[in-house]
Every structure is written in structure tokens, then in C-alpha cells.
């Protein structure tokens, strides 16, 4: 066979592979994304079409240009509460401008190649943020399921729940609960060919069909027009520039963190090419700028849709791009079908999605790692105050916990005959230097000392404190047996604390004076 024939066969095989894997996967993701895009728009207090616009842009722009080929992007529940607040304060058109500007910030961050710094944020803060958002979504959307309207904040939603329960609106409540029931049933149902259908699609279509057969008098999705007639230009604020700047930076930072963490999580689900995080961040920014300019919601990488993509057999970025194509075709040709969907059905879907954001596995994992306090404070801040306050409080507790960990130096002084035995363990950093100095002050001048250094971490302040004490003790006539500090510094200096300490064996201790 000629070289051109071999290349042609390889191309044909590649095309067949895409048809066999990525096209079916794209259809699955499309069926998952449509109801979620609509529901997130509802939770954001935005026009339903704005969620679909974001879904189309996320699929086409990020799918083509992103650095994580199997990551699927679109509007995410994690930003719904934030967007709802901005729309309430600034209006929808100004919020769209903030989305577009946030995209420019993301592109700048991607161009500066700082994407990996977002991974320095404590996972406990991210999980707490998402859990808090999930609780807010559940509290707000429950009112729609029960036939009412969501209140301004979590406390009002809680306070109004009892009267809402006492005045149930029959059809709306039944349809909302039916949606939730179908989603729960789909999750626990044994694997079968039927279960290959996406749960959100089954729940929304099933409950909408029940509403149509029943002839239920409930509010349904209202679209101002088709996809192209729904496009609207953003507008800059008339005053309120401070609030606008806060919206831009908040959207940029939260969307970036969620997208990058989703990209990292997606990498763990497949064995294909690893994510280029800077390229991904730039593509997410470009998508947000395009979405904001077209009147769409903010976009992030979404782990639920990405997991569905990989589970359905997606192998390349083609599946993410095609899901955007299918969405575009659907909202331009068949948008009238969306008018059959009751709002209470979308609210039921959001209650389920919001509850899933409170991940029990994450809570158990954080508890084992001792980071549950960071998670709880973040959740309480997000629910009780607002999203930014919750993140700030969570980060503050995470930093305080880190400082406490770095200050966990253990110094034990014991006299054995004429020899003072000193053992230093834990993390010897600047935070623990006062404790070290106080303990070493117990050793009399001129005494013989055996100093065992079993530290997990040693920073420059700890090194200087040990060296200063050693020099002073030697000059006053004392004798110290210890491991040479230079060797310890080479092994331990600048290293992060180890989860499983590896103490230095006393048998390896050398005479510092002899080493010098």
C-alpha cells in the first residue's frame, strides 16, 4: 500500500472512531445540558434563553479552544446564586456586561500563565462554597416546587417555608415532587439499557408529559423568541461602578477556580491528554466574553456534564463541540417545545442538583484530614451572609489552620544523669520559634546536651534559632551532640509538612562540634 493510501486509511479510521464514540457522547451531553441550562437560568433570575445561549457558547468556544479536551462547559449551578444577586442589584443587561468583562480578566490571567495558582485554594473552601450554594438553591427553589416564589435570602426562605407548606398549590407541588422522585429513582435504579438515558432528561420530559396529559394549570417556560431574536447587547452601569467592579472580579475568580478544579478532576477520569490549564483558562475567558456580549449567563467547566461525556465514551474535544451544535440546532428549530416545560419541574431539577452539591463523601474526607472546620465556616458564611463573605471566611480559617499546623512544634527536655536530652519534633517554623526558645532556656549553661531533631519541616527562622542557641551554648562551655544543621537544612529546608512524619533516628546523630 502507498504512503498516501496508509494515511487515507488512518484518516478514515480516525473519522470512524469519532463517529463511534464522540457523536453518541455528544448527544448524551446535549440531553443532560438542555434541562440544566434552563434550570440554572431560572435559579439565576435570568431569561431562560440566556442559559441556553451560555450552553451553546460554552460548547462551541471552549470545546474548540479549551485546554482540557473532555471538559464540557456551560452555565453552572455554582454561579447561580451570585448571578441572581448581581441581576437583582445591577439588572440583567449590566450583569451581562460584567460577565463579558470577567471573561477579559480570565483571558489576561490565562495569558499570564497563572492558572495553577488557583489550585492553591483549599479544597475545603471550594467544597464548602459549592455546598453553601447548593443549600441556597434548595431553599429558594423549594418555594417554586411548593407553588410559591423564592425570598430574598436564606433566612427569609426558611422563615416562609412553614406557611408555604400549609398552603400547597396542588398541581405545581405534585409536578415538582414528581420530578425529584424521578431523579432519585433514576439514581438508585439498577443498571440497564433504559438507564443509559440521562436522568435530568427523563425527569423533565416525564413530568412535563404528565403535566400535559393532566392539563395542569401551572406556569410554564416563556421564551421571548427564538435563539437569534433573544440575543441582546449588554449595557454599562449608570453609576454603581463599585458594585460592577465587584461583580466582574467575583465572577472571574469564582468561575476560574471552578473551571480549573473541574479540569483537574476530569483529568482523573480518563487516560487521554492532560489538561493545559492556562489554555483552558484563556478559552473560558473568551467564552464568557462572547456569552456576556450575546446576553448569556457566565460559563465554567462543569464536572457533571464532563463526567457524562466521559462515561458515554467521549474521546476527543469533538463531543463537547457537537453538544454545542446540537443545542444551537435545538434552540433555533425546536425552541417552541420548551414552552411545554412547567417552571416547577425545572425547580424540582434544581432542588435535586442543589442537594447533590452537599457531597457527603467530601465531608467525610475533610473530616479525616482535619479540615472540616474550614468547610463548615465556608458553608455558614455563604448561607448566612453572602458568597464572597463565605469564601473570605473559609480562606481565613484555612490560613489560620495552616499557621497552627506550622506552629505545632514539640520540644521535650529530659535530664538523664548529667546529660540533658532534648527532642524537637513536628514543624519547626517561625511560628514555633518562641516555643523552642522557651524550652531550650530550661537547659543550664555549660550542660551536656543530646539534641535529637525529628522535625518534619524546617524553615529559615527555625534554622537560625537552633544555630544561635547552639553557638551560644557552646561558647558558655556546653557540649552538644546533634545532627549537623547544614545536613538537616538540605533535607528539610523549605519542604511542606509531611502527612506521615519520618523521624530522624537517634542513632544517626553526630557530634556537631566534631562535624565542624
* Whether residue 416 is found in the same domain as residue 333: no
Asked if pLDDT for residue 97 goes beyond 90, the answer is: yes
Mean pLDDT of 184-195: 82
Q: Tell me which H or E stretch contains 411.
A: strand 409-416
* Whether residue 355 is found in the same domain as residue 428: no
Domain assignment present for 364? no
Domain assignment present for 378? no
Q: Which of 109, 490, 36, 99 is nearest to 303 (CA)?
A: 36
Q: How many domains does the chain have?
A: 2
Domain assignment present for 307? yes
Q: Tell me which H or E stretch contains 135.
A: helix 123-145
439 lies in which domain range?
A: 407-515
Domain assignment present for 418? yes
Q: Tell me which H or E stretch contains 401.
A: helix 387-406
Here the CATH number for the domain that contains residue 503 is 3.30.750.24
Q: Chain-wide mean pLDDT for the chain?
A: 83
Of 359, 378, 397, the last residue of a domain is 359
Contact 145, 185 (CB under 8 A): no
* Whether residue 246 is found in the same domain as residue 145: yes
* Whether residue 338 is found in the same domain as residue 438: no
* Whether residue 29 is found in the same domain as residue 171: yes
More confidently predicted of 475 and 224: 475
* Whether residue 419 is found in the same domain as residue 348: no
Please name the residue that has the C-alpha cell 544561635: 468
- Angle between helix 123-145 and helix 80-90 axes, rounded to 10 deg: 70
Torsions phi, psi of 68, nearest 5? -120, 95
Q: How many whole angstroms separate alpha carbon 458 and alpha carbon 436? A: 12
Query: Assign residue 417 a region: left if phi > 0, alpha if psi is -120 to 50, beta otherwise?
Result: left
* Whether residue 215 is found in the same domain as residue 298: yes
Q: Which residues pair with 73 in a beta bridge?
A: 301
Q: Which residues pair with 457 in a beta bridge?
A: 427
Please name the residue that has the C-alpha cell 524553615: 459
Q: How large a percentage of the chain has pLDDT more than 90?
A: 25
Q: How many whole angstroms separate alpha carbon 392 and alpha carbon 385? A: 11
- The separation between CA 317 and the C-alpha centre of its own chain, rounded to angstroms, equals 22
* Whether residue 303 is found in the same domain as residue 432: no
Q: How many whole angstroms separate alpha carbon 110 and alpha carbon 277? A: 8
Lowest average pLDDT, out of 93-102, 197-206, 496-505, goes to 496-505
Q: pLDDT tens for residues 229-276?
A: 777 889 998 888 999 999 999 999 989 988 988 888 888 888 888 889
Mean pLDDT of 49-62: 94
Q: How many whole angstroms separate alpha carbon 251 and alpha carbon 54? A: 14
Q: How many whole angstroms separate alpha carbon 166 and alpha carbon 214? A: 24
In the structure, what pLDDT confidence band is assigned to residue 507 with cuts at 50, 70 and 90? very low
Mean pLDDT of 392-408: 83
- List the strands of the sheet with 409-416, edge to edge: 409-416, 419-428, 448-458, 479-482
Of 359, 391, 424, the last residue of a domain is 359
In the structure, what pLDDT confidence band is assigned to residue 145 with cuts at 50, 70 and 90? confident
Q: How many whole angstroms separate alpha carbon 176 and alpha carbon 256? A: 33
Mean pLDDT of 7-23: 62
Domain assignment present for 380? no
Q: Report the pLDDT value the prediction gives residue 492, as an integer from 0 to 100.
A: 61
Give the cell for residue 1. 500500500
Q: How many whole angstroms separate alpha carbon 199 and alpha carbon 186? A: 6
Q: pLDDT tens for residues 280-314?
A: 999 999 999 999 999 999 999 988 888 888 888 88
Q: pLDDT tens for residues 63-80?
A: 999 999 999 999 988 888
* Whether residue 415 is found in the same domain as residue 480: yes
Cβ burial, residue 279 (10 Å; 0-12/13-18/19+) = middle
Q: How many whole angstroms separate alpha carbon 277 and alpha carbon 266? A: 12
Asked if pLDDT for residue 196 goes beyond 80, the answer is: no
* Whether residue 329 is found in the same domain as residue 412: no
87 C-beta neighbours (distance < 10 Å), count: 21
Positions of E strands within 49-207: 72-74
Domain assignment present for 200? yes
Q: Tell me which H or E stretch contains 436.
A: helix 433-440
**Which of helix, strand or coil describes residue 425?**
strand
Q: How many whole angstroms separate alpha carbon 332 and alpha carbon 329? A: 5
Cβ burial, residue 240 (10 Å; 0-12/13-18/19+) = middle
The secondary structure of 475-509 as a DSSP string is HTT-EEEE--HHHHHHHHBTPPPPSS--PPPGGG-
In the structure, what pLDDT confidence band is assigned to residue 477 with cuts at 50, 70 and 90? confident
Q: Report the pLDDT value the prediction gives residue 216, as an integer from 0 to 100.
A: 80
Longest dimension (CA), the chain: 97
Asked if pLDDT for residue 513 goes beyond 60, the answer is: no
Asked if pLDDT for residue 119 goes beyond 80, the answer is: no
* Whether residue 163 is found in the same domain as residue 237: yes
Q: Report the pLDDT value the prediction gives residue 173, as an integer from 0 to 100.
A: 87
Torsions phi, psi of 448, nearest 5? -85, 135
* Whether residue 174 is found in the same domain as residue 234: yes
Q: Report the pLDDT value the prediction gives residue 267, as an integer from 0 to 100.
A: 85
Domain assignment present for 392? no
Q: pLDDT tens for residues 414-443?
A: 888 888 888 888 878 887 888 888 888 888
Of 291, 324, 359, the last residue of a domain is 359
Domain assignment present for 328? yes
Amino acid at each position: 500500500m502507498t504512503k498516501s493510501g496508509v494515511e487515507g486509511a488512518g484518516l478514515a479510521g480516525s473519522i470512524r472512531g469519532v463517529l463511534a464514540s464522540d457523536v453518541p457522547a455528544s448527544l448524551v451531553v446535549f440531553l443532560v445540558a438542555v434541562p440544566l441550562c434552563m434550570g440554572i437560568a431560572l435559579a439565576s433570575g435570568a431569561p431562560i434563553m440566556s442559559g441556553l445561549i451560555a450552553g451553546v457558547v460554552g460548547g462551541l468556544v471552549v470545546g474548540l479552544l479549551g485546554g482540557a479536551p473532555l471538559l464540557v462547559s456551560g452555565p453552572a449551578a455554582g454561579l447561580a446564586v451570585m448571578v441572581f444577586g448581581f441581576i437583582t442589584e445591577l439588572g440583567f443587561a449590566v450583569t451581562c456586561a460584567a460577565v463579558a468583562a470577567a471573561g477579559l480578566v480570565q483571558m489576561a490571567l490565562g495569558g499570564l500563565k497563572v492558572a495553577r495558582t488557583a489550585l492553591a485554594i483549599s479544597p475545603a473552601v471550594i467544597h464548602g462554597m459549592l455546598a453553601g450554594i447548593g443549600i441556597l438553591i434548595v431553599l429558594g427553589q423549594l418555594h417554586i416546587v411548593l407553588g410559591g416564589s423564592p425570598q430574598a435570602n436564606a433566612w427569609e426562605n426558611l422563615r416562609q417555608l412553614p406557611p408555604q407548606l400549609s398552603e400547597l398549590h396542588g398541581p405545581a407541588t405534585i409536578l415538582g415532587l414528581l420530578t425529584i422522585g424521578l431523579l432519585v429513582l433514576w439514581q438508585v435504579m439498577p443498571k440497564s439499557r433504559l438507564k443509559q438515558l440521562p436522568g435530568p432528561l427523563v425527569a423533565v420530559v416525564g413530568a412535563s408529559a404528565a403535566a400535559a396529559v393532566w392539563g395542569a394549570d401551572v406556569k410554564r417556560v416563556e421564551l421571548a423568541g427564538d435563539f437569534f431574536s433573544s440575543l441582546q447587547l449588554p449595557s454599562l452601569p449608570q453609576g454603581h461602578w463599585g458594585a460592577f467592579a465587584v461583580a466582574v472580579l467575583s465572577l472571574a475568580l469564582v468561575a476560574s477556580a471552578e473551571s480549573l478544579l473541574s479540569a483537574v478532576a476530569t483529568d482523573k477520569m480518563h487516560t487521554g491528554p492532560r489538561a493545559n490549564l492556562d489554555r483552558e483558562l484563556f478559552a473560558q475567558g473568551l467564552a464568557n466574553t462572547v456569552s456576556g456580549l450575546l446576553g448569556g449567563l457566565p460559563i465554567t467547566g462543569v464536572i457533571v456534564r464532563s463526567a457524562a461525556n466521559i462515561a458515554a465514551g467521549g474521546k476527543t474535544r469533538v463531543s463537547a463541540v457537537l453538544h454545542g451544535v446540537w443545542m444551537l440546532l435545538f434552540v433555533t428549530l425546536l425552541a417552541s417545545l420548551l414552552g411545554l416545560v412547567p417552571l416547577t419541574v425545572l425547580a424540582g431539577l434544581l432542588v435535586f442538583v442543589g442537594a447533590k452539591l452537599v457531597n457527603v463523601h467530601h465531608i467525610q474526607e475533610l473530616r479525616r484530614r482535619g479540615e472540616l472546620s474550614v468547610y463548615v465556616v465556608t458553608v455558614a458564611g455563604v448561607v448566612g451572609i453572602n458568597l464572597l463573605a463565605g469564601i473570605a471566611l473559609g480562606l481565613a480559617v484555612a490560613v489560620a489552620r495552616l499557621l497552627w499546623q506550622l506552629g505545632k512544634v514539640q520540644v521535650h527536655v529530659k535530664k538523664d544523669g548529667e546529660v540533658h536530652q532534648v527532642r524537637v519534633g513536628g514543624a519547626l517554623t517561625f511560628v514555633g520559634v518562641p516555643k523552642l526558645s522557651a524550652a531550650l532556656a530550661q537547659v543550664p549553661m555549660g550542660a551536656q546536651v543530646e539534641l535529637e531533631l525529628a522535625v518534619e519541616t524546617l524553615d529559615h527562622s527555625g534554622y537560625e534559632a537552633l544555630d544561635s542557641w547552639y553557638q551560644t551554648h557552646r561558647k558558655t562551655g556546653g557540649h552538644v551532640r546533634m545532627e549537623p544543621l547544614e545536613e538537616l537544612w538540605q533535607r528539610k529546608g523549605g519542604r511542606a509538612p509531611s502527612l506521615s512524619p519520618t523521624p530522624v533516628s537517634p542513632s544517626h546523630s553526630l557530634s556537631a562540634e566534631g562535624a565542624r
